[in-house]
Amino acid sequence: MGGYMTKTSGTSTRRHASDEVERRLADALERLGHGLRSLAQRSAREHGLSPLQQQAVLALVRQPAARREVSALAAEFDVTSPTMSDAVAALERKGLVTRSPGLDGRRRLLSLTDAGQQVARELAPWDGPLLEAFARLPAPDRDTTLHSLLRVIADLQRQGVVSVARTCTTCRFFEPDAHADASAPHHCHLLRVPLPLADLRTDCSEHQPATD
């Protein structure tokens, strides 16, 4: 009986320690989120924008035409279409965004004006402090952190927490742990090459959602 209780107690202690690490990781990400929101608010305020308007401007720089619509941006940032529509309307009033008919003549594609392009260039370094902090990490730590975060994103997408994720880890061409090389353990069946951790993508233009 004593041995059983000791074994059970040890298992419980290890589980409790694991739970504590998971909670600290969640707390750390929450604090990081607070810091990023503060940076975004400061940058947006300097340009007379809301954080959501700033996100829309920056997204329109990099999004292909198929995703330069109110509904697509709403899904990208997990807000309702009316909320995003209000943000876009404000950007139109500021002379930063215009709408034009899509190829089907009905969808309204969004484009940055010349003034919008200039604002986008000024907004681009908004997350500079975070990039500098990552740059100070050793390269192996950066690679492992990227890998871990993408795995978490994939899991959250499967649970319906994250709506849009065009990452390697959520793609049907991605095969995890296909190779023995710890620095390039995964495989991309589209490119037909091993994937080094440092090359994992967060927004792939050729992404196709995994079915499982």
Summarize pLDDT for 167-199 with one digit per residue, the tens: 889 999 999 999 999 889 999 998 899 989 889
What domains sit in the chain, N to C, each tagged with a CATH number? 2-126 (1.10.10.10), 137-199 (no CATH)
pLDDT digits (tens, 9 = 90+) for 32-87: 999 999 999 999 999 999 999 999 999 999 888 878 999 999 988 989 999 999 99
Which one is predicted more confidently, 112 or 8?
Answer: 112
Q: Rounded to an integer, what distance in angstroms lies between the CA atom of residue 98 and that of residue 90?
A: 11
Q: Rounded to an integer, what distance in angstroms lies between the CA atom of residue 190 and that of residue 172?
A: 9
Which one is predicted more confidently, 199 or 19?
Answer: 199
Q: 28-37, 101-110, 131-140, 168-177: which range is least confident on average?
A: 101-110
- Per-residue pLDDT at 107 exceeds 60: yes
Q: Is 74 exposed, middle or buried (0-12, 13-18, 19+ CB in 10 A)?
A: buried
